[in-house]
A and B are shown apart, each in its own frame.
Chain A
Amino acid sequence: MSAVAADPLASLDAGERANLSAIADRLIPAAHGMPSAADVLGDDRLRFVLNARPDLVEPLRVALRSEHGGDVAARLDILGRDDPAALGALQLVVVAGYYTDGRVRELIEYPGQVAIEIRSWEYPAYLEEGLIDAVMARGPTWRDPTTGERAVIPDAPRTYEERWSTDAGSPEGGPDGNDRA
């Protein structure tokens, strides 16, 4: 519907918004220095969520309809029993609105999925600590299909330093798959 595409909030009436606020406060109340979801889930956040997920509008409306009454706990119980999809949509709207809020993210010290530079030239701690050497010291663990037993390779390297000095090395071909064929 174009009305939903234009502004998903227009599909929710005042009663449904009031129900949403009461439910949000119940699910995520103000506590332990955190704001309540009812305080966070204003027009901007709700619009953001429903614009990202217009498929949630209808099940959200179902979950918020007035026939379920004013008792929030009873409403959640009924939805859990009779309409888990609507309950799931309601919970997702509340949670998503809450955790996409900048202030909430700051309080939980979550900056989002950020880009981090890989320093592939640095010697990894697991090599430094000898964790790889411990694995290599146990020798080959693959099962030799010709014997059915654990493979025996007498000259298998037992440390990473030994392995690094063997003949295996960087690939010689290019990435197009048409080399050395």
Chain B
Amino acid sequence: MTAEPADVLIIGAGASGGVVALRLAQAGFKVVCLEQGEWLDRADYPGDKLDWELKSRKDWATSPNVRGLVQDYPIVEDDSPVSPLMYNAVGGSTIIFAGAWPRALPSDFRVRSLDGVADDWPIDYFDLLPYFYRTDRQFGVSGLPGDPAYPPDTEDAPMPPLPIGSAGLKVARAQTKLGWHWWPEFNSINSTPYDGRRQCVQRSTCQSGCNEGAKASTDLTHWPKAVALGARLVTGARVRRIETDASGLATGATWIDRDGTEHFEAARVVILAANAIGTPRLLLLSSSPNHPDGLANSSGLVGKRLMMHPFANVGGLFEEPLMSWQGQFGDLIESLEFYETDEKRGFVRGARWGLAPTGGPINTALPSRAGEQVWGADHHGHVRAHLGHGANWGLFAEDLPDEANHITLSTTVADTSGIAAPEIHYRMSDNSRRMLDFHIERAKESLDAAGAYKIEVDRLMRYSGWHLLGTARMGDDPAVSVVDRWNRAHDVPNLYVVDGSCFVTSSGVNPTSTIVAIALRAADHMIETRFEQRVPV
């Protein structure tokens, strides 16, 4: 603890927190970050070890409820068919994300204007484009330039594309035969040595941490640089609430260390970067007589409009060996063929497809995605037919915002520090169901065209809540939004939300690329307006 308040206090050392910390530290801000997890040593990651598939189902599971580690908080999810996924450590969920790096598309920011549903964003794709280029360089992105599904770029990805593998090539040929879009996926995974990090070795264990450091995670890409510039990163620090003064300005945060001791970290500006579950949880926990419904919640929208991208998996089996247990788990290829609205399909908006590797033999015998268990003498034929012979289309459906999908504070469940757990209430909409059904049928056609002799479908995967969005939405009107176009809370002028909570609509693509571009834009604005920033006296 220091006597002098920090210029900025960031809560959460994940993707957006890392980006903002580095940018502000570069600009000379005195940065402090509170992170409930710890620094990890990638030598401990299980991906290059024999017990990888065992550990990835417990200590390295993507669900905090499955892991149950001391740095995790429980999430009450009985009222949801989808489980939120995240990781708590320096680097946050970038430690376990796949690394797929598509950008939201131009139409994603104009959903109301174009399709008459949800809301438009106050910013657009072209506002973010310069930030996409900068964050692509920061994280290290591999990709093939020229994808006609996006507006032309003036800057290419820093590295050439990763291999698409035998499965990717087979399905790419089928997509071409069908006249459907496909493209080698952009991934924040090094295809060449980059920025002091090694290149990918195709081990396909990206979601259990990257042993090579080839996949971008902010514990590698941002925090060491931010710390070298003077940022102070406090780990094992679980924030209980954000404090405010009589004038309504944030003054810092109360937090609890691993021993249960309470601390206060004073700051002139507070920045929330704790994901779209953790951020509204903290805002709701920070209620007071002056704001009894939670901090920054005069709109009543804190915790509302949770979006998680309903996800289906369509897997094809092929006669020939494809060695499909290898390859980046950020996707091999993607398709945006059915991404844009066509109302003849019976729904609005669309879904992105990503083709992924299929896992090792334990996952083959006990599939976590589409597939079945086979026991007895036929078990051997089942494993031989599946292991290395599959290709999986993962389908991410755009989730439209709905205030009924929301987060509350549990009255019965708390974390190990005694802080109320978040409780999520979520239903997949009829629009999303029709969308997934349509896309499942098209994905089956793709795999059929590729020569699959058997196709297996998981119509809604429970453990698929990777993309947590929308619970403190951005907007120009304080009556119907939580933060403004620069991510500043309407109600609290020195409080910012820079994670995926700010999303107005969800898009249908993996959001990390867009989240960090928005975060960098917000940080630049904080720097530009630093002398006008209201701070507590």
> Beyond A131-B176, A145-B113, is A95–B47 a contact (Cβ under 8 Å)?
no
Which of A3-11, A13-21, A49-57, A60-68 faces chain B?
A: A49-57
Q: Which one of B134, B169, B336 lies within 8 Å of A173 (CB-CB)? A: B134
- Majority secondary structure of chain A interface residues (helix, strand, loop or mixed): loop
Report yes or no: A170 in contact with B51, Cβ–Cβ below 8 A: no
- Contact flags (1/0) for A139-150 with B, using CB distance below 8 Å? 111111100101
Residues of B within 8 A of A139 (CB): 148
Report yes or no: B51 in contact with A113, Cβ–Cβ below 8 A: no
A:1-60 near B, CB below 8 Å:
26-29, 31-34, 48-49, 52-53, 55
Report yes or no: A168 in contact with B156, Cβ–Cβ below 8 A: yes
Report yes or no: B105 in contact with A142, Cβ–Cβ below 8 A: yes
> Beyond A113-B52, A113-B203, is A27–B375 a contact (Cβ under 8 Å)?
yes
Q: Is the CB of B535 closer than 8 A to any CB of chain A?
A: no
Q: Shortest beta-carbon distance, A104 to chain B, in Å?
A: 8
B:113-147 near A, CB below 8 Å:
113-114, 124-125, 130, 133-138, 140, 144-146
Residues of B within 8 A of A92 (CB): 54, 57, 362, 366
B:498-537 near A, CB below 8 Å:
520, 524
Residues of A within 8 A of B375 (CB): 26-28
Report yes or no: B155 in contact with A171, Cβ–Cβ below 8 A: yes
**Chain B residue with Cβ nearest A32:** B380
Residues of A within 8 A of B182 (CB): 131, 135
Q: How far is the CA of A164 from the CA of B156 in the complex (A)?
A: 10
B:153-191 near A, CB below 8 Å:
153-164, 169, 172-173, 176, 179, 181-184, 191
B:177-229 near A, CB below 8 Å:
179, 181-184, 191-192, 194-195, 199-205, 212, 221, 225
Residues of A within 8 A of B53 (CB): 96, 99
Q: How far is the CA of A4 from the CA of B136 in the complex (A)?
A: 47
Q: How far is the CA of A105 from the CA of B133 in the complex (A)?
A: 44
**Chain A residue with Cβ nearest B194:** A175
Q: Shortest beta-carbon distance, B165 to chain A, in Å?
A: 10
Report yes or no: B144 in contact with A176, Cβ–Cβ below 8 A: no
Q: Shortest beta-carbon distance, B308 to chain A, in Å?
A: 24
Report yes or no: B151 in contact with A177, Cβ–Cβ below 8 A: no
Report yes or no: B138 in contact with A175, Cβ–Cβ below 8 A: yes
**Chain B residue with Cβ nearest A49:** B54
> Beyond A52-B54, A100-B50, is A91–B325 a contact (Cβ under 8 Å)?
no
Q: Which one of A95, A99, A141 lies within 8 Å of B336 (CB-CB)? A: A141
Choose among A29, A132, A138 the residue with the greatest number of B CB atoms under 10 Å from its CB.
A132
Q: How far is the CA of A110 from the CA of B204 in the complex (A)?
A: 14
Q: Shortest beta-carbon distance, B521 to chain A, in Å?
A: 10
B:60-106 near A, CB below 8 Å:
105-106
Chain B interface residue count, Cβ-Cβ cutoff 8 angstroms: 98
Residues of B within 8 A of A110 (CB): 325, 360-361, 387-388
A:117-162 near B, CB below 8 Å:
117-118, 120, 124-126, 129, 131-132, 134-136, 138-145, 148, 150-151, 153, 156-157, 160
Residues of A within 8 A of B113 (CB): 145, 148
Report yes or no: A31 in contact with B380, Cβ–Cβ below 8 A: yes
Report yes or no: A99 in contact with B360, Cβ–Cβ below 8 A: yes
Q: Shortest beta-carbon distance, A157 to chain B, in Å?
A: 7
- Contact flags (1/0) for A162-180 with B, using CB distance below 8 Å? 0110111111111111111
Residues of B within 8 A of A55 (CB): 58
Report yes or no: B202 in contact with A134, Cβ–Cβ below 8 A: no
**Chain B residue with Cβ nearest A162:** B146
Q: Which one of B55, B151, B172 lies within 8 Å of A142 (CB-CB)? A: B151
Residues of B within 8 A of A95 (CB): 361-362, 365-366
Q: Is the CB of B384 closer than 8 A to any CB of chain A?
A: yes
Residues of A within 8 A of B195 (CB): 175
Q: How far is the CA of A120 from the CA of B57 in the complex (A)?
A: 32
Residues of B within 8 A of A168 (CB): 145, 152-156
Which of B19-27, B271-279, B443-451 faces chain A?
A: B19-27
Q: Is the CB of B107 closer than 8 A to any CB of chain A?
A: yes
Residues of B within 8 A of A153 (CB): 152
Given A142-B149, A145-B114, A168-B152, output 20 extra A-B contacts at Cβ < 8 Å: A29-B376, A29-B379, A52-B51, A53-B54, A95-B361, A113-B47, A116-B202, A116-B203, A118-B163, A118-B201, A120-B159, A135-B181, A135-B183, A144-B106, A148-B113, A163-B145, A167-B154, A175-B137, A180-B130, A180-B134
Residues of B within 8 A of A (CB): 19, 22-23, 26, 47-48, 50-55, 57-58, 105-107, 109-110, 113-114, 124-125, 130, 133-138, 140, 144-146, 148-164, 169, 172-173, 176, 179, 181-184, 191-192, 194-195, 199-205, 212, 221, 225, 325-326, 336-337, 340-341, 360-362, 365-366, 373, 375-377, 379-381, 383-384, 387-388, 520, 524
A-B CB contact pairs (8 Å), 10 listed = A28-B379, A32-B381, A92-B54, A96-B362, A112-B50, A114-B326, A115-B202, A132-B144, A145-B109, A168-B153
